[in-house]
Amino acid sequence: MVLLSDAGSQDRDGTVGDFAPLGLLADFLTRRGVAVLRFDDRGVGKSGGTPAVTTADLVSDAQAGLNFLRTRPEIDLAHLGLVGHGEGGNVALLAAAQPLPPAFVVAMAAYGLPGRDIVVQQQATTLRTLGTETSQIEAATKRQMAMLEIIRQTTDNAQAQAIVANMLKQNNAAIDNATAQSSAAEMTSARYRFFLAFNPVEKLSAVACPVLLLNGTADLTINADTNLKALSSGLNKNKGLTSKKLAGVNHLFQPEPAKWPIVNGQQQPNFSPEAQEVIREWVMAQSKK
């Protein structure tokens, strides 16, 4: 299988801070007989080039990974799969809708809602976690939706950036000009514009290979219920669909802290053992077909 990282430029282990979810998953699977290919994202580590602009651009990288495995004599060509985390899950699903698809897809915390809805949902979840009152969350949501609509409607990027920077400063007096400009530049970038408009379920009807959807109930980035529902609906004609929610698992697929192992006298985050076993068992079942 080929492992695909979440959004942003990451190394082959999908490292976030000190945690490397893809590295941990790869180690678990290879020790149990599954051949795994990991690679640094474009412009990271030993990979050349510049970072990909859109989710769609990354599909070619996933396809290149599959083709590389097809050149290896020790690989079972009938059972090549894609396993993606976050945006990588969406990349895997897009690749499965193309010619020469993988034999199976595992999508971990992939998003099923359009990017615009994801952004609004993430802000509301963050504010709710901080104990913000409902009325304040609703007001912040309206401001954010207005800002996103400005981005969508204003094709002149310099003008859009100036408007967004001004809105950010008006919404938060503590933001200085440099921070507002930097944030506005990111929010009007080609990658962010694509993300806002991207509908992840649009091409799912073309996915014929078996798909395993996994989301954690403690994921504050991608809501398990709404996104699993959307993806499952888009894959409703897929006879090989399996969907599962993992209790207490967050976006990085860490279990709840009480289940973290103790290393050198301190608890250290790990990749959810339950998630690892679900993936292993499901992938092994595909290899027998």
Please indicate, yes or no, whether residues 108 and 233 belong to a single structural domain of this protein: yes
For each of the chain's 289 residues, which pLDDT tens digit applies? 999 999 988 999 999 999 999 999 999 999 999 999 999 999 998 999 888 778 888 999 999 999 999 999 999 999 999 999 999 999 999 999 999 999 999 999 999 999 999 999 999 999 999 999 999 999 999 999 999 999 999 999 999 999 999 999 998 889 999 999 999 999 999 989 999 999 999 999 999 999 999 999 999 999 999 999 999 999 999 999 999 999 999 999 999 999 999 988 889 999 999 999 999 999 999 988 8
Indicate if 24 and 145 belong to the same structural domain.
Answer: no
Same domain, residue pair 167 and 142: yes
* One domain for residues 155 and 144: yes
State which of 196, 212, 246 marks the end of a domain: 196
Whether 183 and 218 share a structural domain: no
**Domain shared by 166 and 26, yes or no:** no
Is residue 109 within 8 Å of 7, Cβ to Cβ?
no
Q: What is the CATH number of the domain that holds 280?
A: 3.40.50.1820
The answer to whether residues 108 and 122 belong to one domain is: no
Is the CB of residue 174 less than 8 Å from the CB of residue 161? no
Residues 211 and 106 both lie in one domain:
yes
Do 191 and 63 belong to one domain? Answer: no
Same structural domain for residues 93 and 128? no
Domain limits for position 137: 115-196
**Both structure tokens of 113:** 């809602």
Domain closes at, from 196, 218, 235 = 196
Predicted local confidence at residue 249, as pLDDT: 98
One domain, residues 109 and 209: yes
Q: Which residues pair with 242 in a beta bridge?
A: 212
φ, ψ at 250 (rounded to 5°): -95, -170
CA nearest 106: which of 122, 90, 120, 119? 90
**Domain end call among 196, 231, 251:** 196
Same domain, 166 and 206: no
pTM of the shown model: 0.92
How many domains are there within the chain?
A: 2
